[in-house]
A and B are shown apart, each in its own frame.
Chain A
Amino acid sequence: MKRFLTICAALLLPVTAAAQDRAQPRLALDAEQTEQCVTMMAGFPDETPEARYVFFRLSQELAKDVTPELSRLMAAFMAQNETRRLPADWPMIDVVEDIADPVLRQAAPSQTVASMAHIAYFDAMCGRFVQGQVDSLRAFDPVLADNDLVIREDALYLRQILAEALDRLGGGDKRATQIYTASLIVERDDIEYVGFEDEVDELEALYMGDLDTKLARSNDAVNEGVDVNGYKDAVALANDMDDQARKRAEQERLYSLVRILGGRG
């Protein structure tokens, strides 16, 4: 019960944030759009925070690099193929499954385009709400972010399906498609780099920790071998020599005083 309440609180946070955001006229959504966002977000899985997080993040990743030019191109293909926009309450899991469906990929590339356009439309309109949900879920359980790389990889796979679909529909030579295809290469590089960096991080932590321990031990070993009394003995010797010199000087002072006074007679 406690867990459920925490989740609810976490999920309500972004709604509050979004309400505050609405006060800003430039970013404000009208009531109908807000209603639409709420309806669409209701279509996301809600059994577990994990599932909810995965699909919110997936929707963000799938909408990446969709420029207005590409949106127009996708809309044009949808119109040519008389593909209607998906209804707002269409479950997100079904939208994603449609994109990944091998049969639809082969038989109805325009459906793939329509599904991706649906997600891009959702992200463009409701992105702030989604980001709020993602932030809240991460705050609730930071471990959820560990799935990010896998989500990005899955999204890249689905985005490659969109690029294929656009190509099959004859949009491969369009500038918007080419830019989108180039962005997939950058994304793949980024994902691979994250994997590389993770491995370097691990190596780094291992070697730095190991080195630190070994050097600390080495310092201890060297310090143990230091003659701690050597300096004290040297100072004592110098002090003895100084004392002798001082006594000698006092005697000399006495003698010279006697000599000087004796010289008077």
Chain B
Amino acid sequence: MRQHLTCLLATSMLAAGGIVSGCASTAKGVQATAFAAGPETPLSQTAPTGTALAVVRYPAFIEADAEEAFAAAYAGQAIGGGQIEADPVETKALANSVVLKSNYFAMSLYRELTARLPEHSVLLSPHRIVKAADGTLTSEPMTQAETLPSVVAVDFTAYTYPDMERMMGDKPLTFGDLVTPVVTVRTDPRTSVGTEGVLLASSPVIAAAAGGNYAQAITDATALQAGRLETGVPELDIISHLSGTPRLAPETSPLRGRPAAATVRSYPIEKIRLNGEAIATVAADKADVLEAPFTDAFANQIVRLINRTDATKAAMLRRADVIADYDEGLAALTLVGSHDPAYRARLRYAERLLEAEQKYLSVQSLRLYDGIVNGEMGAQVRDMLQEEHRILERRRKLARQQNTAVALGVLSAVVAGAAIANDGSGREDCRRAQTRGQYYDCIDRNNRRSRADRGNQIATTAAIQGAIFSATEAMRRNSMSRSIGENYLQSVVPVLNAQTEVQVDLIDSSETITAIRLEDLKDKLGALYAENQRSLDTVATRCAYSGSVGPGTWMGSCANGLADGPGVGVFRNRAGNLVEHYGHARAGRADGPGYRIVRAPEGSYSIEGNFSGGAANGVARVERSGSVALRRFNNGRDMGAAPDGSVNASPFRMGDRAG
């Protein structure tokens, strides 16, 4: 009976050990990213002058008053699922670690892109996580890189699941030799309208990225309607995800293969396993350990996306916004351009100013890169990578030992069970012997059996003890593994805080110096510009524009108080949706080639073609989520698919208009 109880205890302990520690995972990762590796993709895109090709954005700092909200959102909207009840101090430390690693690994992407793209065409935009006026979590750029137009913006976060206890499992992790990138590649919401400008994103943040870009597009269009030519900067997509920004669900395509039209490329969450040997020497050689397994292929993908993006549409509104700083009369005309020689001469001057700003700001990006990668902060992060890798390796070893202990425990329990099943049977009743000789033989047989049973008993007890020991050993290994992780995290909390302060000092002092000089430079450029201009025959102003139901606003060329010539009109349609019309107008109505964007709550769509009397007429290219098609329009009514070989008019092709 006692033996049965002991076996039961051993099995229970083993089960408990199994539940608590389980078959421990060894925090595996993929050796190479899902992005297709291969030779460098050549750039075939030519961006308008003064337009950057890519801006790399990343979380760089959490403001003190946003720390609580960020930690709560970080735990509440964990990528990887599950309810987190982690220690708030630990969550904050992990949040700081995310920020620190994002800072460092974003430099890998910057480096790769600068190597592939022309000089001055890649900028860095670190973001500060703050509480907005309404108390919600948001992020804002710490430098002026995003005041300039760009073809794409790439959000990069090195993500870690907000529960240290789960780090050895399958949850996303950025620690030691593991990096989990959460990325987005976006363009301006005035292009790729069907996906709200989102070109590619990590699958958990697609909806938030689309929602964030849509919200920004509405804000910009509302400003236009109020007669202000200004463009805002969308918050980081990871923050949109955490803060619960209203979601939109554009159609998606898998990462590999030919994407369907007007869809977002969906990038699955993957833990990238860095080369352990490279990490072992990273402190000395400063090698980019993320390049081979991830950044190289990702940068290629970005260049492919840049090549496929309509750079003119991507840059037009922000470009006009910057030009307005120097020449308000010219700004709105630049949206679709003009044949007027005076306009073209003037535009050339304005573009040169944009280019000067771009070059100037690129110096700041280069120095930020230098400060982070080649400075003490980079050195400490590299030390950190090495130490974390060592910790991870120790935990992996403990996990393997734990698994061996569990296996041994299971084996011992099975052996004990089998022994118990065979125990205590076969003793004879010698009283039934009829002769003395039979009686002594019987006693002798029973004695031999007893000796054998004692041997079995000893073996069974040993198996049970082995099972118990294995179970306790498995639990102990698991506990040691956890304590290694916790000890490390607790010890480095002050260091993480100190390092984030260092990077803030680095960025803030850089921005202070840059901003003062930039203001001065802009003043000087503005003065030079003013000295060298001849007058424009037509200047952009604000006037009336007829929408479908009510009056709208036109920013551009006007005559007699009505839209007339190139520019942009904004109005609300019958459904109450905001509509932006980039193109030409006559007597207050859209007339000639135009590009119309309708911001519907279920998702935006665009119509690009010829307009007359305010409505689409003729062949137009219609883009909405998941589809791009040429359609025939008659006085604004969709008459069906356009015949094969049809070509739509575009306000962005100079040959498509007379004016």
- Residues of A near any B CB (own CB < 8 A): 185-186, 189, 192-193, 195-197, 199-200, 203-204, 207-208, 210-212, 214-216, 218-219, 221-223, 225-228, 230-232, 234-235, 237-238, 241-242, 245-246, 249, 252-253, 256-257, 260-261, 263-264
**Chain A: which residue is nearest B477 at the CB level?**
A249
Would you call B166 an interface residue if the criterion is a C-beta within 8 Å of the partner chain's C-beta atoms?
no
A200 to B522, CA, bound (A): 11
A contact residues around B502 at 8 Å (CB): 222, 225-226
7 A-B pairs in the complex with CB atoms less than 8 angstroms apart: A218-B506, A222-B502, A230-B498, A231-B380, A231-B495, A245-B487, A256-B469
A contact residues around B379 at 8 Å (CB): 228
Would you call B35 an interface residue if the criterion is a C-beta within 8 Å of the partner chain's C-beta atoms?
no
B contact residues around A260 at 8 Å (CB): 465, 468-469
**Chain A: which residue is nearest B342 at the CB level?**
A189
Q: With A231-B383, A260-B468 known to touch, is A216 a contact of B367 (CB < 8 Å)? A: yes
Would you call B82 an interface residue if the criterion is a C-beta within 8 Å of the partner chain's C-beta atoms?
no
> Are the C-beta atoms of A222 and B492 separated by less than 8 Å?
no
Would you call B38 an interface residue if the criterion is a C-beta within 8 Å of the partner chain's C-beta atoms?
no
A contact residues around B367 at 8 Å (CB): 211-212, 215-216, 218-219
Would you call B260 an interface residue if the criterion is a C-beta within 8 Å of the partner chain's C-beta atoms?
no
> Are the C-beta atoms of B375 and A227 separated by less than 8 Å?
no
Instruction: Name the interface residues of B315-366: CB closer than 8 Å to any CB of A.
Output: 341, 345, 348-349, 352-353, 356, 359-360, 363-364, 366
A245 to B367, CA, bound (A): 44
Majority SS at the chain A contact face: helix
The CB with the most chain A CB atoms within 10 A, among B376, B383, B387, is that of B376
> Are the C-beta atoms of A210 and B517 separated by less than 8 Å?
yes
A230 to B488, CA, bound (A): 13
> Are the C-beta atoms of B487 and A207 separated by less than 8 Å?
no
A contact residues around B292 at 8 Å (CB): none
A73 to B93, CA, bound (A): 83
Q: How far is the CB of B206 from chain A (nearest CB, A)?
A: 36
- Residues of B near any A CB (own CB < 8 A): 6, 341, 345, 348-349, 352-353, 356, 359-360, 363-364, 366-367, 370-371, 375-377, 379-380, 383-384, 387, 461, 465, 468-469, 472-473, 476, 479-480, 483-484, 487-488, 490-492, 494-495, 498, 502, 505-506, 509-510, 513-514, 517, 520-521, 524-525, 528, 532
Total residue contacts A-B, CB cutoff 8 A = 150
Q: With A200-B528, A241-B487, A260-B465 known to touch, is A218 a contact of B380 (CB < 8 Å)? A: no
> Are the C-beta atoms of B505 and A225 separated by less than 8 Å?
yes
Report which of B356, B363, B376, B387 forms a contact with A235, defined as CB distance below 8 A: B387
A226 to B505, CA, bound (A): 10
Report which of A196, A228, A234, A237 forms a contact with B352, defined as CB distance below 8 A: A196
> Are the C-beta atoms of B510 and A218 separated by less than 8 Å?
yes
> Are the C-beta atoms of B521 and A246 separated by less than 8 Å?
no
Q: How far is the CB of A232 from chain B (nearest CB, A)?
A: 8
Report which of B349, B363, B498 forms a contact with A212, defined as CB distance below 8 A: B363
